[in-house]
């Protein structure tokens, strides 16, 4: 079955940067989008950013939630089946557990449904 292996995260001061990576193992045609959700203490899990990860190399469809636009950038290396979330100008409000996720539609990142596959999550703390 699909496995998502995450790396990155950690603690940083406000204004700093971090990069998350997520590699998709055991690819299935069901998965065409990959990205991140986050969940802060006492809050619901929300979609942060997602990107096309299917076989059409020219497709770079992305979604980035409004609260991080201009600060977070998502990218995908098709050959490595790895997505990256570059997080710049981090704010204390970005503190959360970040979960890599994979699904057949970006609608899940917009709150319409839930991704089929999840990584274990990684802590991001901004102070």
CB 106 within 8 A of CB 47: no
- The average pLDDT across 45-63 equals 88
Poorest-pLDDT segment among 19-28, 99-108, 112-121:
19-28
Q: What is the DSSP letter of 10?
A: E
Q: How far is CA 46 from CA 13, 25, 50, 76, in A?
A: 22, 24, 12, 20
Find the mean pLDDT for residues 86-102: 98
What is the residue-averaged pLDDT of the chain? 93
Query: What phi, psi does 66 have (nearest 5°)?
Result: -55, -35
Q: In the prediction, which pLDDT does 30 show?
A: 77
**Tokens coding 25:** 């193992």
Q: Say if residue 28's pLDDT is above 80.
A: no
CA distances from 36 to 53, 108, 117, 119 (A): 13, 11, 11, 9
- Name which residue leads in pLDDT, 101 or 59: 101
Rounded to whole angstroms, how far apart are CA atoms 70 and 73?
A: 8
Question: Of 55, 50, 33, nearest to 98 (Cα)?
Answer: 50
Percent of the chain whose predicted confidence (pLDDT) is above 90: 83
Give the single-character DSSP code of 100: E
Give the pLDDT band of residue 26 (cuts 50, 70, 90).
confident
């Amino acid at each position: 079955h699909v496995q998502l292996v995450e790396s990155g995260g950690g603690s940083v001061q406000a204004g700093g940067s971090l990069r998350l990576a997520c590699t998709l193992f055991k690819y299935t045609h069901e998965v065409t989008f990959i990205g991140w959700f986050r969940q802060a203490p006492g809050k619901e899990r929300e979609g942060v950013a997602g990107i096309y990860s299917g076989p059409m190399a020219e497709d770079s469809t992305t979604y980035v939630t409004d609260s991080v636009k201009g600060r977070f950038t998502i990218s995908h290396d098709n050959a490595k089946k790895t997505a990256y979330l570059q997080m710049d100008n981090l704010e204390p409000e970005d503190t959360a557990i970040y979960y890599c996720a994979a699904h057949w539609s970006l609608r899940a990142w917009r709150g319409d449904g839930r991704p089929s596959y999840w990584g274990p999550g990684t802590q991001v703390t901004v102070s």
